[in-house]
Structure 1
Amino acid sequence: MTDRSEMFDRLKGLIAPFNKKGVEISEVTTFAGDLEWDSLTVMDFVAEVEDDFDIVISMNLQAEIENVGHLVDAVKKLTD
C-alpha cells in the first residue's frame, strides 16, 4: 500500500489533534509516557486510526503497541 515513511506521516497527522502537549512525534514517542494519554484518549485515537485505514486493531495488538514506531508497524502489517 504505502511505504513506512508515508505511513508514519499519515499516523503523525492523526496524532496531531490528540497531541495536547505539543510533543515532538518520532518513532520512539510513547503514548502513555510522552503524550500522557489516558485510556479514553487511546480508545478515541484507535477509532480514528481504524476509520482512516479501514482496519480493526484487536485489543491484544493494542496492548503490544507502546510507541509510534510499533503503531506504524502494526498498521502497515494490517494494511498490506
Structure 2
Amino acid sequence: MTDRTAILDTLRTQIEPFNKKGVAITEATSFQGDLEWDSLTVMDFVAAIEDEFDIIITMNMQAEIENVGQLADAVEKLRG
C-alpha cells in the first residue's frame, strides 16, 4: 500500500462522522458541493486531520483544497 493509499483510507475514516448525507467518498468528492459542509464542519474536520497526521493546514491551503484528492495531496506534501 502506498503512502497516498494509506492517506486516502485515513481520510475516508475521518470523513465518516461528518458524512451526514452518506455520500460515497472518492478523490473527486467535494467538501462543499457533495458533502455540503458548512464552515464549522470544515474547521472541526481540519482539526481532526491535523491531529491525525500531526500537520498544520494553513488557511491559505484550506482555501485551495476543494476535494478529497487535493486534501490527500496536501497531507502527503506536508508530511514530506
TM-score (norm 2): 0.96
| C-alpha distance after superposition, 1:10-42 (max 9, x if no partner) | 111000000000000000000000000000000
Q: In the alignment, residue 40 of structure 1 is paired with which amino acid?
A: L
What CA distance in whole angstroms lies between the structure 1 residues aligned with 2:50 and 2:6? 17
How many Å apart are 1:45 and its aligned residue?
0.2
What CA distance in whole angstroms lies between the structure 1 residues aligned with 2:31 and 2:72? 13
What CA distance in whole angstroms lies between the structure 1 residues aligned with 2:53 and 2:10? 10
* Aligned length, in residue pairs: 79
Q: In the alignment, residue 72 of structure 2 is paired with which amino acid?
A: V
Task: Spell out structure 1 runs of 4+ moving beyond 3 A.
Answer: none
Q: What is aligned with 1:55?
A: 55
Q: Give the alignment's Cα RMSD to 1 decimal.
A: 0.8
Q: In the alignment, residue 50 of structure 1 is paired with which amino acid?
A: E
What CA distance in whole angstroms lies between the structure 2 residues aligned with 1:16 and 1:52? 14
**Secondary structure at 2:49's aligned position in 1?**
helix
What does 1:1-80 align with in structure 2 at a 5 Å threshold? Answer: 3-80=3-80
TM-score (norm 1): 0.96
Name stretches of at least 5 consecutive residues in structure 2 with no aligned partner.
none
